[in-house]
């Protein structure tokens, strides 16, 4: 650092990820107007300013951009609030000049870091936090899928990870976090009861705002995973002739999670972990990496990309060749970031995997002992392939363990053919309907790779049908899974 000026300015990707939702980022964008701010400045440790809104008094806003902690005097429960996002956007765009820290800002940064250093296990370091009445309360710096915010370059090794896991935060802050989550689950259950009482024919059901308002309240309650489910559910309304049945079924799943979430202390430990994660409770990456690994030779069986708000999500499905277990690796990219390409479809990876608590699927890749990208993957896929009947049994067992699962991977030897209601994968034991979400490009690639004959296919099961991800034929792996929508990148 030179003359108290930070060596690095945050990138727009870091601000996007810290905001967590497109709605909050957009709200901050609207406030990133220099004429509405006074007394702004940035130092080697912090950025600060006063926002003048409709109220008589301006809001005092500050961000420790090294330890990634925030403060704002506004009454909003959203953390970080839109004022914090707006201030960071102005800094990123060069609208904040370097100044010496005012005494109150220097005192806040010093006091904040002293509290972090004295906290148990020093787990507040590197996480975004709020000093709005609870100086020890940490703000999640991961999205609901575990996205790292791309921390400031001077941040510590654990910056950008969530510190909400039990035992990692001061008791008062942890209890407040639990109370907010429980209140959100109660509100969700009440909302579902109201919707069922009025019926799905109520015109308000067709308005996205009806669902988005609920999702925003769940985000405030730190139940982001449920908020994402609610927004996805809103997209189903009116889309098909049987949408009432599908929406009602998903509302039943939401009710199940809301009820189970309120009973976590009484549940067996494994089920309690699964329910907590399903509600949106986040786990620190470091805690996952500290767990006992599962060592195997893992076949990279398939890949699928999709977009959630401003973030691209990549799912890579691995299958243990010795254990037969499935594992899911997630990676994320915001704006000009790049999705992880270290696990190509068809490769065999000899590695340790660390599973998330309560999750039968999601994991982190630990130590990698070797990777084979040769033709052996196709032969390995043949050894683990199942019939359609066996695949249905696998899906059934996975959903029995976690009824809120919306995706399960299977590898089958089957032929693509046209059925009464669309394309299917079929063999002598049954048929799997191909989801309309697969699109014509994936179906065309499947037909070209198989030439209409029985072929090894890895697919994702969803409630709408299966989505083919990869074909193993003629000694090679063909990746046909959904591709990331990069249109927003070019527009950035």
Average pLDDT, integer, range 93-107? 89
Q: For the chain, percent helix, then strand, then coil, each to nearest 5?
A: 40, 25, 35
Residue 171 has pLDDT above 70, yes or no: no
Residues 390 and 196: their CA atoms lie apart, in Å, by 36
Where is average pLDDT lowest: 125-134, 313-322, 382-391? 125-134
Q: Residue 25 above 90 pLDDT?
A: no
What whole-number distance in Å separates Cα of residue 435 and Cα of residue 432?
Answer: 9
The predicted structure's pLDDT at residue 28: 86
Is residue 352 helix, strand or coil?
Answer: strand
**Tens digit of pLDDT for each residue in 324-333?**
999 999 998 8
Please name the residue ranges forming H helices in 167-308: 171-198, 208-220, 224-234, 243-261, 269-279, 285-289
Please give the pLDDT value at position 159: 33
pLDDT score of 491: 37
The per-residue pLDDT for 80 is 87
Q: Which residue has the tokens 């899928």?
A: 145
State how far the Cα of 473 lies from the Cα of 479, in Å rounded to an integer. Answer: 11
Q: What is the pLDDT of residue 359?
A: 66
Tokens 């727009």 -> residue:
12
The model's confidence at residue 238, banded by pLDDT at 50, 70 and 90, is confident
| pLDDT of res. 254 | 93
Buried b (16+ CB within 10 A) or exposed e, 329-348: bbbbbbbebeeeeebebbbb
pLDDT tens per residue across span 187-208: 999 999 988 888 888 888 888 8
Q: What is the pLDDT of residues 269-315, one digit of tens each?
A: 778 888 888 888 777 788 888 888 899 999 999 999 988 767 888 99
Alpha-carbon gap, residue 60 to 63, rounded angstroms = 11
Place of tokens 């270290």: 342
Q: How confident is the model at residue 88 (pLDDT cuts 50, 70, 90)?
A: very high
Please determine, for residue 426, whether its predicted confidence score (pLDDT) is greater than 50: yes
Q: Is the pLDDT of residue 112 over 80?
A: no
Q: How many residues does the chain have?
A: 492
- Euclidean distance between CA atoms 280 and 296, whole angstroms: 29
Contact 142, 282 (CB under 8 A): yes
Using only the alpha carbons of the chain, give its radius of gyration: 24
Distance of CA 323 to the CA centre of its chain: 27
| pLDDT band for position 5 (cuts 50, 70, 90) | low
pLDDT tens-digit series, residues 113-124: 776 665 544 333
pLDDT above 50 (res 378): yes
Alpha carbon 65 to chain centroid, angstroms: 23
- Residue 6 is predicted with a pLDDT of 66
pLDDT band at 144 (very low <50, low <70, confident <90, very high): very low
**Confidence (pLDDT) at 459:** 96
Average pLDDT of the chain to the nearest whole number: 81
What's the pLDDT score for residue 155? 33
pLDDT for res 129: 47
Question: Among the listed ranges 235-244, 296-305, 445-454, which one has the minimum average pLDDT value?
Answer: 235-244
Query: What pLDDT was estimated at residue 332?
Result: 87
Q: pLDDT value at position 411?
A: 95
Taking residues 62-79, what's their average pLDDT? 85
């Amino acid at each position: 650092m030179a003359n108290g000026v930070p060596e690095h300015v945050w990138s727009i990707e870091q601000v996007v990820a810290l905001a967590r939702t497109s709605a909050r980022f957009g709200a901050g964008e609207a406030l990133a107007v220099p004429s509405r701010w006074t007394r702004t400045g940035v130092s080697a440790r912090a950025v600060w300013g006063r926002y003048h809104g409709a109220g008589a008094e301006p809001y005092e806003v500050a961000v420790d951009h090294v330890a990634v902690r925030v403060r704002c005097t506004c009454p909003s429960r959203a953390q970080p609030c839109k004022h914090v996002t707006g201030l960071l956007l102005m800094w990123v765009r060069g609208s904040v000049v370097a100044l010496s820290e005012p005494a109150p800002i220097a005192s806040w940064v010093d006091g904040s870091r002293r509290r972090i250093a004295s906290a148990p296990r020093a787990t507040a370091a590197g996480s975004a936090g709020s000093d709005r009445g609870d100086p020890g309360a940490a703000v999640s710096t991961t999205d609901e899928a575990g996205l790292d915010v791309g921390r400031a370059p001077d941040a510590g090794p654990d910056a950008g990870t969530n510190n909400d896991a039990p035992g990692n935060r001061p008791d008062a802050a942890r209890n407040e976090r639990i109370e907010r989550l429980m209140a959100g689950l109660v509100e969700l259950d009440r909302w579902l009861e109201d919707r069922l009482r009025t019926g799905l024919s109520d015109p308000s059901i067709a308005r996205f705002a009806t669902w988005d308002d609920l999702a925003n309240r769940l985000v405030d309650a730190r139940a982001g995973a449920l908020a994402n489910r609610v927004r996805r559910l809103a997209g189903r309304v009116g889309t098909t002739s049987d949408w009432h049945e599908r929406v009602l079924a998903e509302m039943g799943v939401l009710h199940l999670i809301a009820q189970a979430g309120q009973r976590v202390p009484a549940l067996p430990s494994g089920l309690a972990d699964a329910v907590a994660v399903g509600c949106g409770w986040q786990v620190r990456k470091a805690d996952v990496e500290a767990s006992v690994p599962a060592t195997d030779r893992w076949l990279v069986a398939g890949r699928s990309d999709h977009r959630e708000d401003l973030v691209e999500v990549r799912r890579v499905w691995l299958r243990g060749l010795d254990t037969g277990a499935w594992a899911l690796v997630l990676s994320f990219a915001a704006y000009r970031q790049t999705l992880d390409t270290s696990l190509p479809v068809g490769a065999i990876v000899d590695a340790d995997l660390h599973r998330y608590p309560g999750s039968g699927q999601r994991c982190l890749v630990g130590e990698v002992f070797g990777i084979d990208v040769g033709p052996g993957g196709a032969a390995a896929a043949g050894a683990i392939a199942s019939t359609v009947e066996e695949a249905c049994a696998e899906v059934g067992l996975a959903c029995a363990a976690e009824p809120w699962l919306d995706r399960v991977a299977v590898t089958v030897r089957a032929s693509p053919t046209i059925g009464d209601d669309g394309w299917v994968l079929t063999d002598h034991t049954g048929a799997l309907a191909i989801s309309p979400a697969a699109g014509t490009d994936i179906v065309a690639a499947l037909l070209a790779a198989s030439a209409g004959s029985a072929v090894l296919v890895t697919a994702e099961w969803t409630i709408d049908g299966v989505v083919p991800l990869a074909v193993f034929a003629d000694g090679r792996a063909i990746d046909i899974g959904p591709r990331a929508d990069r249109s927003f990148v070019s527009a950035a």
